[in-house]
Structure 1
Amino acid sequence: MDVKNRENVVVAKVTSKNQITIPKEIRTKLNLKKHDNVEFVTKDNGEVVIKSKNDLWSVVKEQEKKYGNLSTPEIDWGEDVGVEVID
């Protein structure tokens, strides 16, 4: 079965400050969120490929926000209430 490569064209306008807003459809497809990095790869034929650059360190930063890191103080659970006996 021959599957054709379907192209979906989405247009964004360059502002007077040479900025663009990445359209929602593209942000959704690339799973882009605030503060994510985007990589622009230019080809000799004038084509530009946009890639989501969610690397290890951006994942680590997200995990630190949620769970803390090694320098985060431990939770004080209070005094021990007894001992655990394992048979």
Structure 2
Amino acid sequence: MFTNKIKITATMTSKNQITIPKTVRDILDLKQNDQLEFTIQKDGSITIAPKESFEDFWKIVEDQEKKYGNVSSPETDWGPDQGSEVID
């Protein structure tokens, strides 16, 4: 996304809250009620990224359906199951 680092500062309030600077909100395309995911590495560095939303989940499902079909798609004959068990 960027060829250089961008450093942006935010200050924590007495209630342990931080306002996400507008530049960061714009770069991450954050909107109201979006969730962020914090990943903390062993060296203490932190990565902040938008958490995948439920809408993102359904977009993934839609993409998978286009590629593989869905429950109403005609079945593909993959041949006999290998090592299947008979359960009484």
TM-score w.r.t. length of structure 2: 0.57
Partner of 1:48: 46
Question: Hey, what's the Cα distance between the residues in 2 that align with 1:25 and 1:54?
Answer: 20
Higher helix residue share: 2
Partner of 1:26: 24
Aligned 1:64-79 pairs, distance under 5 A: none
Partner of 2:36: 38
Gaps of at least 5 residues in structure 2 are 58-88
TM-score w.r.t. length of structure 1: 0.58
Deviation at 1:35, TM superposition (A): 0.4
Deviation at 1:22, TM superposition (A): 0.5
Aligned pairs, how many? 56
Higher Cα Rg, which structure: 1
Partner of 1:11: 9
Question: Hey, what's the Cα distance between the residues in 1 that align with 2:30 and 2:12?
Answer: 20
Paired-residue identity, %? 38
Deviation at 1:58, TM superposition (A): 3.8
- Alpha-carbon RMSD: 2.0
Amino acid at match of 1:18: N
Gaps of at least 5 residues in structure 1 are 61-87
The answer to whether the 8 Å contact 1:40/1:49 transfers is yes
Question: Hey, what's the Cα distance between the residues in 2 that align with 1:58 and 1:36?
Answer: 11
Partner of 2:61: none
